[in-house]
Structure 1
Amino acid sequence: MIRFENVTKRYRGTAKPALNDVSFNVDRGDFVFLVGASGSGKSSCLRLIMREDVASSGQIHVLGHDLKRMSSRKVPYFRRQIGSVFQDFRLLSTKTVFQNVAFALQVTGASRALTHTNVERVLELVGLTGKEKRMPTELSGGEQQRVAIARAIVGDPKLLLADEPTGNLDPATSTEIMRLLARINATGTTVVMATHEAGFVDQMKRRVIELKFGELMRDEAHGGYGDTSAIPRLAPVKARGEASAEALSAMRKVQREVATGASAGATAATAATAATAAVVPAAEPEPQIAEEVIEVVVEGRAEPSVAEAAEAQTADEVAESLTTQADEVAADEEAAQNATSPRPLTRPIVIPEINVAELGVADRLGLSDFDDDDEVGPTS
Structure 2
Amino acid sequence: MNKVSIIMPIYNVAAQLERAIQSALNQTYPNIEIILVNDGSTDESGSICDTYQQQDIRIKVIHQPNAGSGYARNAGMDVATGEYIYFADPDDYFDINLIEETVKIAEKVTADMVVFGYCNEVIQKNGQVTTMEHLPQLKGAFTQEKFRDQFRNHYAVSPYALWNKLYRHEFLLQHQCRFTNQKVGQDALFNQVVQRSVKKVYFHQKAYYHYVSMEGSAVNRYRKERFTYEYTIANQFEQWMMCWNKEQDYKDLIYREYWGALYLELSNLSWKDSPLTSRQKTARIAELMRNEAVYEAVNGIRLEEESNAFIKRLLQLLRKKQYDGALRLMHFRVVVGKNFQRSFRWLKNKFTNENGVNSINGNGR
Fold agreement, TM-score > 0.5: no
TM-score using structure 1 length: 0.23
Q: Please state which structure has a larger fraction of its residues in helix.
A: 2
Greater CA radius of gyration, 1 or 2? 1
